[in-house]
Amino acid sequence: MLSKLCVAMPHKSISLVLLSPSLSLSSPPTPLTAASPASSPHHIARCPFFCIFLREKKPHILHRKNNNNRKINMASTEDKPTNKENTSSWKDSIYNPRTKELMGRTASSWGLILLFYLVFYCFLAGMFALTMWVLLLTLDDYVPKYRDRVPYPGLMIRPNSLDIIFNKSDTLKYEQYVKTLESFLQRYNDTEQEKNKDCIQGEYFEQNNNEEMTKEACRFKRSLLSLCSGLSDTNFGYSEGKPCVLLKMNRIIGLKPRGDPYINCTVKRETPIQMQYFPSEGRIDKMYFPYYGKKAHESYVQPLVAVKLLLTKEDFNKELSVECRVEGSDLRNNDERDKFLGRITFRIKVVE
């Protein structure tokens, strides 16, 4: 509620006029004189000099605020839970001593759930074991069921590296290659190959199935590799700068190559390099075919072809790319999608 105090000071007389909130401002102001009744405060005198406005506090608004504060305080007091009740409800959610429930379930309920899952997973395990047993009945321990993915063999090299780089004057540089070849040829020692059969050259060594399902293997002695056998030269020519490389075909069950397969190597440059092959002409005899599998043919060893690179001083300190292929048979060696099918390419560099 606003009150307007107007003070007029004409000469020594002072007029005080009060403005009531119920009075409309559109009514003309009337001066308050001595004749005017004091009980009529709804009059306004003109204030020629200055007016003073006072803001009064509204008692009814304060009263409402006080009532609201009381209500808020009462609500906050009623909604505030006690610490004991919070702790009790949290503990009861884990274990309720009154109902004997653990995590909301009784002991009998937990027992039924565990029993259900035990029976369910035992059933799944039994079904899996049954299907695996039926699958194993269809498999052969000696021959794979599906063999159409690898109809032709790949060609591999020993030492097992496609980049052969060494210094012929430094033993430590080529020692790793010598050790790899020596370790690989252990199964081709004469003492080991004496257990195998001396087969007829130029003919497939086919064997009928017997009760034990074991097959004999043809003999391939290490001495057939001559200068690359590691018997006469334990360094396999690496100390002279004329290294030996061993080549073999991957095993494929039942493979019988037609024709007379042999290994042929060429250097990818204009001037050729002299090479020696062991056995002679790099031939792979038919008597080492077919192969009957790892379990039936335990003593079987793949036939090898050793290639001795007769490098000269002009070839030292140069990187040479050598490609070897299986020729003279129906085995594929020109598949662009598989560069190791019937062929292999490696690089060799001899530092003087």
Q: Considering 60, 80, 100, which residue would you say is the last residue of a domain?
A: 80
| Per-residue pLDDT at 150 | 73
Does residue 334 share a domain with residue 291?
yes
109 belongs to a structural domain: yes
Does residue 51 share a domain with residue 190?
no
Question: What string of H, E and C letters represents the secondary structure of the chain?
Answer: CEEEEEEECCCCCCEEEECCCCCCCCCCCCCCCCCCCCCCCCCCCCCCCEEEEEECCCHHHHHHHHHHHHHHHHHHHHHCCCHHHHHHHHHHHHEECCCCEECCECHHHHHHHHHHHHHHHHHHHHHHHHHHHHHHHCCCCCCCCCCCCCCCCEEEEECCCCEEEEECCCHHHHHHHHHHHHHHHHHHCHHHHCCCECCCCCCCCCCCCCCCCCCCCECCCHHHHHHHCCCCCCCCCHHHCCCEEEEEECCCECCCCCEEEEEEEEECCCCCCEEEEECHHHECCHHHCCECCCCCCCCCCCCCEEEEEECCHHHCCCCEEEEEEEEEECCCCCCCCCCCECEEEEEEEEEC
| Per-residue pLDDT at 143 | 81
pLDDT tens track of the chain, all 352 residues? Answer: 333 333 334 443 334 343 344 333 344 444 444 334 444 434 434 444 333 333 444 444 334 444 444 444 444 444 445 455 555 677 777 778 777 788 778 888 899 999 999 999 999 999 999 999 999 998 888 888 777 777 889 999 999 999 999 999 999 999 999 999 999 999 999 889 999 999 999 999 998 877 677 899 999 999 999 999 999 999 999 999 999 999 999 999 989 999 999 999 999 888 889 999 999 999 999 999 999 988 889 899 999 999 999 999 999 999 999 999 999 999 999 888 888 999 999 999 999 8
The pTM is what? 0.64
Does residue 194 share a domain with residue 61?
no
- Burial class from Cβ neighbours inside 10 Å (0-12, 13-18, 19+) for residue 10 reads exposed
32 belongs to a structural domain: yes
Does residue 72 share a domain with residue 123?
no
148 belongs to a structural domain: no
Q: Considering 33, 54, 80, which residue would you say is the last residue of a domain?
A: 80
189 belongs to a structural domain: yes
**Each residue's pLDDT tens digit, 169-204:** 999 999 999 999 999 999 999 889 999 999 999 999
Does residue 189 share a domain with residue 43?
no
Q: How many residues does the chain have?
A: 352
144 belongs to a structural domain: no
Does residue 87 share a domain with residue 68?
no
51 belongs to a structural domain: yes
147 belongs to a structural domain: no
Does residue 166 share a domain with residue 133?
no
Q: What CATH code is carried by the domain that includes residue 233? A: 2.60.40.1660
Q: Considering 111, 138, 165, which residue would you say is the last residue of a domain?
A: 138
| Per-residue pLDDT at 189 | 94
Does residue 107 share a domain with residue 202?
no
| Per-residue pLDDT at 54 | 35
Looking at the structure of the chain, the number of domains it has is 3
**Each residue's pLDDT tens digit, 307-332:** 999 999 999 999 999 999 999 999 99
Does residue 134 share a domain with residue 35?
no
| Per-residue pLDDT at 141 | 82
Does residue 27 share a domain with residue 102?
no
User: Domain residues for 51?
Assistant: 1-80
180 belongs to a structural domain: yes
| Per-residue pLDDT at 24 | 39
Does residue 261 share a domain with residue 198?
yes
Does residue 69 share a domain with residue 53?
yes
